[in-house]
Chains A and B, each alone.
Chain A
Amino acid sequence: MTKSNQTHTVLIVEDEEDLRELMRDALQLRGYCVVTADEGEDALRKIDDIGAPCVILLDLLMPGMNGWDFFAKVRERPELASVPVIVHSSASSRAPAGVTRVVQKPLAFDRLVSIVGEYCHN
């Protein structure tokens, strides 16, 4: 199996490059495998490559495919049905129904690693 071990691969979908790369650094520092995408279409392609991640950290407001459309696509796919999706957004009050959890930006380092830790083994 060429796909990475889904038990500790975190998928970050975030259009803001600084934040996306710092989140990657933070999680890698704690031993997670991290894959990133800057919008929904890109994220779906990454999932095709790596298989189901252990958790998806999802921004909502993004150019290209936004977080709402991406979440709808994810939930249409049976193999992704059980993947936790954590909305991490400044528009958290508008998160789509059915997401696993909603956290308001900005998310500090400690809280990010603690939340991800609830869903993934590092």
Chain B
Amino acid sequence: MDERAEPSGERSTPSSEQVAAQRFQLLIESVKDYAIFILDPDGRVSTWNPGAERIKGYTAAEIIGRHFSAFYPPETSPIEKCAFELEVAALEGRFEEEGWRLRKDGSRFWANVTITALRDPSGELVGFAKVTQDLTARRAAEEETRRFRLLVESVKDYAIFILDPKGHVSSWNPGAQRIKGYSSDEIIGRHFSAFYPPDAIAEGKCELELEIAIQEGRFEEEGWRLRKDGSRFWANVTITTLRDTANQLLGFAKVTQDLTQRREAEASSRALAEQRAVLAEKVRIQEFQERFLAILGHDLRNPLASIDMGLGILREQSKDPAAARVLARMQSSSSRMTRMIEQILDLTRSRLAGGLELDLRVVDPRDSLSKIVEELRTAHPDRTIEFTAPMTSILGDPDRLEQVFSNLIGNAILHGDPGHPVSVRMQVDVESVIVTIHNQGPPIPPEIQARIFDPFRRGERESRTARTMGLGLGLYISWEIVRGHHGSIDIESTAERGTTFRVSLPRSQPIRS
């Protein structure tokens, strides 16, 4: 300025104008964030402030007197551009723009530039005031914001949107539209509870999520959310609080991902793994059962076969009556053990291995019955067994039917009144063959009748049956055999009429798979 050029050697009291000018000069000198300097009418730098030095890198000595085109990048045609700017400023009083400028070191900065024409009171152009602000950081931030917006706008796989502090939707992206089904017009301004199932809303889930986000800065979960059409999707949800530099809550950024397909894939692979585990367990159990059956059927029976054989040889050779009695006892025990193993084997097969194996063929049950009746008549010559049966045929396993009849008729002899005959009758009607086995004698108490076909019936361990016949499995196995033939066994037992077991076997039956 002209005032600065004047010698100031005289120490006189400064005028109020001079004071104001000094203060203004101080202000200019202290400003660091703006380059504030004066160009002469031709565009040469005539003053320089610390802000200018800081922003542009030149010291006053380096730049004063140089044309301000030094601040313009070469591609802007600096001379012409500077001339244009000064012309505009001179004509309109002011020129303003944002654009790239050069620092002394050649680096660029994004500048807000204002050039103001300075005129004396007569209107004569005396120069230009130039104020330059470095907006590089702001521009970078704006650019970043712009890019980020672009990114958010282009993301389709995530719903990315903003909630205001109360939880109302204030922005919406295409991903949100795709996942949730709402257009931005439909959802902006609405509360984000629109995305939650009613039960979650009732539980206060939305408020809780915002509360957690406020407390911890962030809330994340996976859970069910609703689409506009009411359908559910499995969502991964992140809610992040947005705060300004003063830590004031601005709202929440919400990012939601639709994981329904992933969840379904996981569920199906989990189901597959479970099925495999179940199958492996079944195989393991099956192997165990087979091993168990092998032990019962083979490993236990072989030593018994040896004992039986040995007893037979000794009986053959021994002439001593006392030894013969001992051997007979041993033989009886061995036979009982054999029967018990057979029963356990049958129980195991029926309970574990999917049922008793039946070798079904067309048979006349009368043959099985008469064979057993003859055997028992021989074994119990003091007892009378009445037997009547017509010829017929059924599909049956003759060995297994013999087992049933032997058990039932044997029981009748064992428990029946020795003074009365045991009666075995077979009747044939259109659909079934009915075998009734009857004995007189004390009735079976009703509470025992109710569970007489259960295996290992409690309360009978001390009975004669248990001691003589084995394990209390005979009726259970008989029942299983008859059931395998698609038949049934009934029992009727009273003091007056005695005890009757009634076996019903269908004459035609579906072939067991």
Contact = CB atoms under 8 A, between A and B. Distances in A.
Contact of A105 (B302, B331, B357): B302
A93 interface: yes
Given A61-B298, A90-B298, A93-B359, A19 B313 contact: no
A115 interface: no
For the complex of A and B, the 10 pairs showing the least CB-CB separation, nearest first, are: A109-B312, A106-B305, A22-B309, A18-B306, A90-B298, A19-B306, A90-B301, A16-B302, A108-B308, A106-B304
A99 interface: no
A22 B306 contact: yes
A106 B313 contact: no
B88 interface: no
A107 B305 contact: yes
9 contacts: A16-B306, A29-B313, A29-B316, A61-B294, A105-B305, A106-B304, A107-B308, A108-B311, A108-B331
Contacts of A118: none
A44 interface: no
A26 B305 CA distance: 12
B357 A93 contact: yes
Contacts of A107: 305, 308-309
Interface in B294-321: 294, 297-298, 301-313, 315-317
Classify the secondary structure of A's interface with B.
Answer: helix
B403 interface: no
Contacts of B359: 93
B496 to A, nearest CB: 42
A65 interface: no
Given A18-B303, A29-B316, A23 B309 contact: yes
A81 interface: no
A80 interface: no
A106 B311 CA distance: 12
B453 to A, nearest CB: 24
Interface in B340-362: 357, 359
B370 interface: no
Interface residues of B, number: 24
Contacts of B338: 106
Contact of B308 (A61, A91, A106): A106
Contacts of A61: 294, 298
Interface string A1-45: 000000000000000101100110110010000000000000000
B311 to A, nearest CB: 7
Of the listed residues A90, A91, A107, the one surrounded by the most CB atoms of chain B closer than 10 A to its CB is A90
A106 B306 CA distance: 8
A106 B312 contact: no
A61 B338 CA distance: 19
A36 to B, nearest CB: 13
A92 to B, nearest CB: 10
Of the listed residues B297, B334, B357, the one surrounded by the most CB atoms of chain A closer than 10 A to its CB is B297
Interface string B278-301: 000000000000000010011001
A110 B312 contact: yes
Contact of B302 (A25, A90, A109): A90
A108 B301 CA distance: 12
A18 B357 CA distance: 30
A108 B309 contact: yes
Contacts of A109: 308-309, 311-313, 315-316
B290 to A, nearest CB: 12
Interface in A38-68: 61
Contacts of B307: 106
A40 B302 CA distance: 18
A19 B312 contact: no
Of the listed residues B307, B311, B312, B316, the one surrounded by the most CB atoms of chain A closer than 10 A to its CB is B312
B303 to A, nearest CB: 7
A26 B312 contact: yes
Nearest to B314: A109
Interface string B226-250: 0000000000000000000000000
A29 B304 contact: no
A90 B309 contact: no
A73 to B, nearest CB: 22
Contacts of A83: none
A112 interface: yes
Contacts of B316: 26, 29, 109
B402 to A, nearest CB: 13
Nearest to A88: B305
A102 B61 CA distance: 125
Given A26-B312, A26-B313, A26-B316, 17 more contacts: A18-B303, A19-B309, A22-B309, A22-B313, A25-B313, A29-B316, A91-B297, A93-B357, A93-B359, A105-B304, A106-B302, A106-B304, A106-B305, A108-B308, A108-B312, A109-B311, A110-B312
Interface string B188-226: 000000000000000000000000000000000000000
